[in-house]
């Protein structure tokens, strides 16, 4: 609790050689740019190259794509968890749940294809991305519990359901695209949330 979670906190074991740490951070930074530009399927070779390291170095630090996605999302997810804690103390638990779902969907829309990567990782025992997203499901469970307590939600729905639905919402908003690049998320969310009251 509290304190600052920096990118380095996600690094393995304890002591890291200076050059190793430098490479690690360069890879994460470049990866963020590449994912933003080409989606979560950006070429890992290209990321290694742009970070000035060989492909082997990338694979040493991040044995698979999920590991790299996870590392590149650490800060963003930390902010999300802060929001979750704040929303847990809100008066209107129903509105808090709405806001949380919207924040989850926006997070899943950080990069093209991220909603899919996250949802897939969720049922993958060995995925670090799935593991860390589990904490988001937990936060969702706490908010759902409160909303139920206040009678704001009566439908038979699980936290896992809601988490997956926030992803499907992100997926849908990306593809609804009615001409101009409007933000479809709030509209679609409202439609969905009416269903669980």
Partner DNA sequence: ACCTGAACACCGTTCAAGT
In the complex, the residues that contact DNA under the rule CB under 7 A are 15-17, 19-20, 23-24, 41-46, 52-57, 59-61, 63-65
Among 176, 182, 183, 186, binds its own copies (CB under 8 A): 176
The Cα 152–Cα 156 span in angstroms is 12
State the first-to-last Cα distance of the chain, in angstroms, to the nearest integer. Answer: 32
Nearer to its own copies, 2 or 195 (CB): 195
The Cα 197–Cα 147 span in angstroms is 10
Residues 6+ apart with CB under 8 A from 195: 155
Among 6, 160, 183, 186, binds its own copies (CB under 8 A): 160
Residue 131 interface partner, choices its own copies, DNA, none, CB cut-off 5-8 Å depending on type: none
Residues 117-146 vs its own copies: string with x where CB under 8 A? --xx-xx-----------------------
């Amino acid at each position: 609790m509290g304190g600052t979670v920096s990118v380095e906190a996600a690094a393995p074991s304890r002591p890291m050689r200076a050059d190793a740490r430098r490479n690690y951070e360069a890879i994460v930074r470049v990866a963020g740019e590449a994912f933003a530009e080409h989606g979560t399927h950006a070429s890992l070779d290209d990321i290694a190259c742009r970070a000035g390291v060989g492909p082997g170095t990338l694979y040493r630090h991040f044995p698979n794509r999920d590991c790299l996605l996870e590392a590149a999302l650490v800060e963003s997810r930390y902010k999300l968890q802060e929001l979750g804690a704040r929303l847990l103390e809100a008066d209107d638990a129903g509105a808090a749940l709405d806001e949380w779902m919207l924040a989850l969907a926006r997070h899943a829309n950080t990069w093209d294809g991220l909603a899919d990567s996250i949802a897939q990782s969720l049922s993958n025992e060995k995925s670090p991305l799935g593991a860390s997203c589990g904490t988001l499901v937990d936060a969702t469970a706490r908010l759902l519990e409160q909303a139920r307590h206040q009678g704001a939600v009566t439908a038979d729905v699980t936290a896992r359901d809601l988490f997956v639905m926030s992803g499907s919402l992100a997926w849908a908003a990306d593809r609804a695209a009615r001409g101009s690049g409007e933000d479809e998320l709030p509209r679609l969310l409202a439609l969905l949330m009416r269903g669980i009251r």
